[in-house]
């Protein structure tokens, strides 16, 4: 009986102290596969064993969003700039502009690399992006060649 009472008190305590999740309510985490482009193949970039972009909107006070990038089996000893293709309003909209976010993936001897970009709330506000919709495709560019690309993803920025 005493054990049941203790478990009840612990569960009640966890329920009372649990706060609301602060993650973005309108834009959920997306995981997008990277694929070699025709231009990438022509420039000698191989088909990836695996590659992805994980776009997480936390809408937090420090990080508004975090983007993680990973390639496995890309061209060895190569630096790839992450460039976002932003389409006005949606994926079917016109290309508004390419945006190099400063993230660089440099592959090792096996063609593997991992990188990350963090977007602050100040950056979102500074660009005037609150309450906007975009189609976004992530690309990896090496030597002026778009070697890898994701499918376009619909993104709403709170």
Neighbours of 148 (CB within 10 A): 27
pLDDT at 61: 82
Structure tokens given for 1: 């009986």
The whole-number mean pLDDT for each consecutive block of 10 residues of the chain, a chain of 158 residues, reads 44 40 55 98 98 88 92 98 96 95 97 95 87 95 98 90
Contacts of 97 (CB under 8 A, 6+ apart): 86
Contacts of 151 (CB under 8 A, 6+ apart): 32, 33, 137
- CA nearest to 55, candidates 23, 87, 13: 23
Please give the model's pTM, rounded to 2 decimal places: 0.81
Answer whether 126's CB lies under 8 Å from 134's CB.
no
2.60.40, 3.30.70, 1.10.10, 3.30.160: which CATH number matches 22-157? Answer: 2.60.40
pLDDT at 34: 98
pLDDT at 60: 77
pLDDT at 23: 41
Q: Which alpha helices (H) appear in 18-126, and where do they start and end?
A: 38-42, 121-126
């Amino acid at each position: 009986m005493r054990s049941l009472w203790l478990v009840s008190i612990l569960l009640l305590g966890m329920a009372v102290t649990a706060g609301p999740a602060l993650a973005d309510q309108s834009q959920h985490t997306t995981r997008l596969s990277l694929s070699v482009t025709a231009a990438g193949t022509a420039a000698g970039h191989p088909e990836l064993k695996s590659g992805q972009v994980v776009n997480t909107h936390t809408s937090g006070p420090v990080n508004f969003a975090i983007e993680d990038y990973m390639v496995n089996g890309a061209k060895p000893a190569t630096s790839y700039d992450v460039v976002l293709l932003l389409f006005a309003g949606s994926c079917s909209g016109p290309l508004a502009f390419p945006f190099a976010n400063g993230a660089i993936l440099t592959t090792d001897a096996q063609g593997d690399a991992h990188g990350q970009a963090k977007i602050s709330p100040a950056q979102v506000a500074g660009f005037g992006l609150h309450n906007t919709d975009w189609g976004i495709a992530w690309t990896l560019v090496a030597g002026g060649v778009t070697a890898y690309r994701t499918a376009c993803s619909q993104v709403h920025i709170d």
